[in-house]
Structure 1
């Protein structure tokens, strides 16, 4: 007599072996939304990394308009911040700025990026999640190394 093994348990084992997906960040501006995968996503020590330079999102953002950013729970319950570049009304690049650091002590699931002046033009946004690795900068300060980076490139055509 020949035995027939059930197929269902085998399918469950195969499905259970798939790698977890990288978290995604949602950017919203001017009535449009883009969901972005990380351009870099590493282990907690920021050593073993997956890199995808094509994962950059693009949104059209008019001068002075805010950008709303939503992050999933695994980011909200970790250390993360928003870094952005912009230029003033005369088209002159300004020093990049950064939001405050959000941490697991007060999880933050959303952030609204508002530019310093209403005529400023946003150029790019990076959501950066920090890992456990710390490095010393050239000034002697300590910097957390980004574990994950989600990038939004701004289309500023009018």
Structure 2
């Protein structure tokens, strides 16, 4: 992943596959403190995990998010119509890198999400919107994991 961060993909082994005709690239918009950035997908495959779009250049957005300010995330209908979640990395006041995830949003449950970090001086560093595909794999705990079909990435600057 970028800047040496551990990957946040929910299922290991999901790889980009150069594909043929795929839909146009939906953008996810990130907004904080009066500024916004629209981000193209770093990965985008159809529901079966096939026919992936070759990533365009500049697939990582950058945005300044002041401490204690929320990050608002808006996804287009193509993403909201499928299960999706927000994964993030932040740095605690002691310098420790921490990660977290939102709940998984059901299809058509919502088009937006507001990410708030703890108000104790914690700094948000990296955010990914992850769109799930219909691909299932055996989970390490005996259950099943869904593959990630689309990923939109944002790096945070102070």
Deviations 1:60-82 (A, max 9, x none): 11222210000111211210000
Structure with higher helix content: 1
User: What's the TM-score once normalised by structure 1's chain length?
Assistant: 0.80
Question: In the TM superposition, what is the alpha-carbon distance from 1:140 to its structure 2 partner?
Answer: 2.7
Equivalent position of 1:43 in the other structure: 46
Question: What RMSD in Å do the two structures reach over aligned CA positions?
Answer: 1.7
- 1:134–1:29: structure 2 CA closer, same or farther, 3 Å change rule? same
Tell whether 2:56 aligns with 1:64. no
Equivalent position of 2:28 in the other structure: 25
Distance in 2 of aligned mates of 1:45 and 1:112: 29
- Displaced runs of 4+ in structure 1, greater than 4 A? none
Question: In the TM superposition, what is the alpha-carbon distance from 1:19 to its structure 2 partner?
Answer: 6.0
Tell whether 2:100 aligns with 1:81. no
Distance in 2 of aligned mates of 1:21 and 1:100: 27
Question: In the TM superposition, what is the alpha-carbon distance from 1:135 to its structure 2 partner?
Answer: 1.1
Aligned residue pair count: 137
User: What's the TM-score once normalised by structure 2's chain length?
Assistant: 0.80
